Chains A and B, each alone.
Chain A
Amino acid sequence: MEQQTHKKLYSTHAWVGIISGILLFIVTFSGIPALFDHEIEYWQYPAYSEQQNTTRVQTPFNLERALQKSKDLNFNHDNYFIQPADNINNHVILAYFSEGKEPDLHYLNADSYQEFPASPSELNHLLGHLHTDLHLPRPWGRYLVGLSGMAMLLAIIAGIFIHVKWRKEFVMLRPKRSWRLLLTDQHKLLGLWSLPFTLILAFTGTILGLLGLISPILAIAAFNGDVEKATIAVLGPKAEVTGEYSAVYPLIELLGRLEIDMPDTSVEFIQVSGLRIIRSLEKTDDKIDDKIFTTEGTENTEEEIKEQNIKQLTTNELITDIGGIIKFSGYHKDKLSNLESVTYNLSTGEKIHQGSFIGKGLFQRIFAAVTPLHYVLFGNTWLKVFYALSALAACGLILTGNMLWLHKRGHGMQHWLSKSTLGICGGLVVATSVTFAASQVMYAFKFPLGSGLHHISEEWFFWGSWLVMIAAPFIIKDGFKLSHYFLRLTSLAFIITLVADGLFNQRWFWLTEGWVFNIQMGILGSALLFLYLDYKMPNKANIRSAESTQDNNYSAETV
């Protein structure tokens, strides 16, 4: 490669990194708890683990009972979702989402189908939403996350080409030399070792983040700009509400057919559209299908006929609009696809759409693999741990990159970018651990369930502690000292989390088992990791003047 090309790539790598670095750190670091979303959800609320039966063997999902329960709970929505129990959580969730409103959620025990109170803690959502949307309004947060993924992709591509001596760099670490060489070696080591994972995460993350932005472009080409039509072609049709009702097709038969239509698939979501509840029907003027439910040989008024129909409907247990649908979606157990779905008519049981990406064209298979690859919907827990460590390495990569950029220009902690990097990136790590601790300590206050106070407190602790940490570098001038404080504080908060969990929930880690134990070990491991980093991190660095360093920037890095 020509030296000039190499130099341009090097410069682009540095500038892309420095412009997107802080945002990229936020997205990457928050991706670690987002990866363990279900596991953290299970651990954060003791009542979830109490839903496990004594044998810990999962009861097969009973759709009829779930729908019946939705009716009993007056869960009267035209379009809602059911999330069956998974291999971590032993509860079924009934969910209704509405634009701009809080979702209507009901949690049912997967064995008894009795409702129990939802978690007062929303720690997993708090951290997960930061990763997917940066807590910004949709879709802007998602687009920003996608753009940060794109920046990561650009930085990685340039990084691959500029590190020509990668065989040597795979093992090179000179801790006894200068601070800058240590940063350079760490940056290269972390980048090279985590390269396959960061490349996968960047590529899949960019697609997931910017999919909404490119969908209209694709719709223009294939469907004359009709996004709705494009969505239906890929994901299947929506219910067409007719206002005419009939009994629901036998659900046991439907589930039997589902096993044939979607073999080796783990059903994650069931979308129900058009199912109606009698009590609410009485209040509406919806037309009831005369052919199906009219009482013959009487001369009753319209109101009386409707009332009689409703009585007749009541005996039929579950009633659906004849255009109602039920859609089962999930991921294939052996192949990389989370876009497997089959849609049936709720009234006739007719299969109206099947979306499968298995055995299809190359590009459909690549697209179907995006989410499984990004969220590790394959392999086992150790693979997730490996992903998490790679994401942590990517965080180190971003931080060392930023520090190198600053150090090479002779900037110390006085520079606003140094302070911002330390405050925002280091602050996020501290705020995450503090929120973990606060979430468990809140159980001591026994806030009334449904009051939302527990979650509000978590939000306050998270944003409040992050804000304090962002301000800290502007008050404490010694960045190294502050970094040590941050690392110790993070470790301490994780230890407090475990102690609080033992004290207030009686879940001392030597008494727990299953996923609660696994998460507690993860928290303990994180505490020890941050203590180790605190031990290994130097207390000061020799920052050379800008004049002496800038001339040698490029040549020093290429050695």
Chain B
Amino acid sequence: MSLTNNFFNRFINNNASKNTAAIFGTLITTIALTVCITLLWPFGNVVEQIFAGGTFFFIFWASLFYWAILADTGKQAWIRILIILLPVLAIDIFSLLFNLQIK
């Protein structure tokens, strides 16, 4: 068990893991965040909703990238990603499944 734990810690805590979190983890989180903002944006018409999420897609991506890359370990980087990803993903799934768009 400890061997598995040790392997997992080494695997998740290294620099490659941190970089993966910063590049791909943040990309997935940004996509989920964009969908979430587009679904829930309360102002303007549907076109405004689309652009609210889309215009700052890259700003979100860049911000999350640096938040992850500034983490001390790979594990911390992934935790930072998941803190945003999980609630956002939950909102996305509920909104899409139950069509819970604000408008």
**A221 touching B55 by the CB < 8 A rule?**
no
**A157 touching B66 by the CB < 8 A rule?**
yes
Q: Given contacts A8-B70, A367-B54, is CB(A218)–CB(B38) below 8 Å? A: yes
**A217 touching B43 by the CB < 8 A rule?**
no
With both chains docked as a complex, state the minimum distance between the C-beta of B33 and any C-beta of chain A, in angstroms: 10
Instruction: Give B14-58 interface residues, CB cut-off 8 Å to A.
Output: 31, 34-35, 38-39, 43-55, 57-58
Instruction: Tell me the bound Cα distance from A153 to B64 in angstroms.
Output: 13
Interface membership of B78, Cβ < 8 A: no
Could you say which residues of chain B place their CB within 8 Å of the CB of A12? Answer: 66, 69
Selected contact of B58 from candidates A206, A222, A223, A366, CB within 8 Å: A206
Could you say which residues of chain A place their CB within 8 Å of the CB of B45? Answer: 361
Could you say which residues of chain A place their CB within 8 Å of the CB of B44? Answer: 360-361, 363-364
With both chains docked as a complex, state the minimum distance between the C-beta of A189 and any C-beta of chain B, in angstroms: 24
Could you say which residues of chain A place their CB within 8 Å of the CB of B57? Answer: 207, 210, 214
**B54 touching A218 by the CB < 8 A rule?**
yes
Instruction: Tell me the bound Cα distance from A220 to B57 in angstroms.
Output: 15
**B49 touching A222 by the CB < 8 A rule?**
yes
Interface membership of A203, Cβ < 8 A: yes
**A233 touching B39 by the CB < 8 A rule?**
no
Nearest CB in chain B to that of A366: its residue: B55
Q: Given contacts A217-B34, A218-B54, is CB(A9)–CB(B70) below 8 Å? A: yes
Summarize A's interface: helix, strand, loop or mixed: helix
Number of interface residues of A (CB under 8 A): 31
Interface membership of A430, Cβ < 8 A: no
Selected contact of B51 from candidates A8, A206, A363, CB within 8 Å: A363
Instruction: Tell me the bound Cα distance from A157 to B66 in angstroms.
Output: 9
Interface membership of A150, Cβ < 8 A: yes
With both chains docked as a complex, state the minimum distance between the C-beta of A391 and any C-beta of chain B, in angstroms: 20
Interface membership of A254, Cβ < 8 A: no
Could you say which residues of chain B place their CB within 8 Å of the CB of A361? Answer: 43-45, 48, 51-52
**A221 touching B65 by the CB < 8 A rule?**
no
Instruction: Tell me the bound Cα distance from A367 to B53 in angstroms.
Output: 11
Interface membership of B82, Cβ < 8 A: no
Nearest CB in chain A to that of B95: its residue: A221
Instruction: Tell me the bound Cα distance from A302 to B39 in angstroms.
Output: 54
- What 0/1 pattern do residues 58 to 89 of B give for CB contact below 8 A with A? 10011001100110000000000000000000
Q: Given contacts A8-B70, A234-B47, A361-B43, is CB(A207)–CB(B35) below 8 Å? A: no
Instruction: Tell me the bound Cα distance from A17 to B31 in angstroms.
Output: 24
Selected contact of A153 from candidates B50, B51, B58, CB within 8 Å: B58
Q: Given contacts A150-B61, A207-B55, A234-B50, is CB(A5)–CB(B35) below 8 Å? A: no
Could you say which residues of chain A place their CB within 8 Å of the CB of B65? Answer: 154
Interface membership of A63, Cβ < 8 A: no
**A218 touching B50 by the CB < 8 A rule?**
yes
**B49 touching A360 by the CB < 8 A rule?**
no
**A218 touching B34 by the CB < 8 A rule?**
yes
Could you say which residues of chain B place their CB within 8 Å of the CB of A214? Answer: 34, 54, 57
Q: Given contacts A157-B66, A218-B38, is CB(A360)–CB(B48) below 8 Å? A: yes
Nearest CB in chain A to that of B52: its residue: A363
Could you say which residues of chain B place their CB within 8 Å of the CB of A215? Answer: 54
Counting chain B CB atoms within 10 Å of each CB, the highest count among A153, A154, A363 belongs to A363
Could you say which residues of chain A place their CB within 8 Å of the CB of B38? Answer: 218, 221-222
Q: Given contacts A218-B50, A222-B38, A230-B50, is CB(A157)–CB(B62) below 8 Å? A: yes
Interface membership of A373, Cβ < 8 A: no
Interface membership of A258, Cβ < 8 A: no
Interface membership of A524, Cβ < 8 A: no
- What 0/1 pattern do residues 87 to 102 of B give for CB contact below 8 A with A? 0000000001000000
Interface membership of A158, Cβ < 8 A: yes
Q: Given contacts A220-B35, A234-B47, A360-B44, is CB(A367)–CB(B62) below 8 Å? A: no
Instruction: Tell me the bound Cα distance from A239 to B51 in angstroms.
Output: 25
**B51 touching A207 by the CB < 8 A rule?**
no
Instruction: Tell me the bound Cα distance from A438 to B51 in angstroms.
Output: 44
Q: Given contacts A218-B34, A218-B53, A221-B38, is CB(A363)–CB(B58) below 8 Å? A: no
With both chains docked as a complex, state the minimum distance between the C-beta of A149 and any C-beta of chain B, in angstroms: 8
Could you say which residues of chain A place their CB within 8 Å of the CB of B47? Answer: 233-234, 360, 364
- What 0/1 pattern do residues 101 to 139 of A give for CB contact below 8 A with B? 000000000000000000000000000000000000000
Instruction: Tell me the bound Cα distance from A220 to B101 in angstroms.
Output: 12
Could you say which residues of chain B place their CB within 8 Å of the CB of A234? Answer: 47, 50
Instruction: Give A345-375 interface residues, CB cut-off 8 Å to B.
Output: 360-361, 363-364, 366-367
Q: Given contacts A9-B70, A220-B35, A363-B48, is CB(A153)–CB(B54) below 8 Å? A: no
Given known contacts A9-B66, A223-B46, A366-B51, what 18 new A-B pairs fall within 8 Å (CB)?
Answer: A8-B70, A154-B65, A207-B58, A215-B54, A218-B38, A220-B96, A221-B35, A221-B53, A222-B49, A234-B47, A234-B50, A360-B47, A361-B45, A361-B48, A363-B48, A363-B51, A363-B52, A363-B54
- A-side residues, CB < 8 A to B, are 5, 8-9, 12, 150, 153-154, 157-158, 203, 206-207, 210-211, 214-215, 217-218, 220-223, 230, 233-234, 360-361, 363-364, 366-367
Interface pairs (24), CB distance under 8 Å: A8-B69, A12-B69, A150-B58, A150-B62, A153-B58, A153-B62, A207-B57, A214-B54, A215-B54, A217-B34, A221-B38, A221-B96, A222-B46, A222-B50, A233-B50, A234-B47, A360-B44, A360-B47, A361-B45, A363-B44, A363-B51, A364-B51, A366-B51, A366-B55
- B-side residues, CB < 8 A to A, are 31, 34-35, 38-39, 43-55, 57-58, 61-62, 65-66, 69-70, 96
Please give me the 9 A-B residue pairs with the lowest Cβ-Cβ distance, nearest first.
Answer: A221-B38, A361-B44, A363-B51, A361-B48, A221-B35, A363-B52, A367-B51, A218-B50, A206-B58
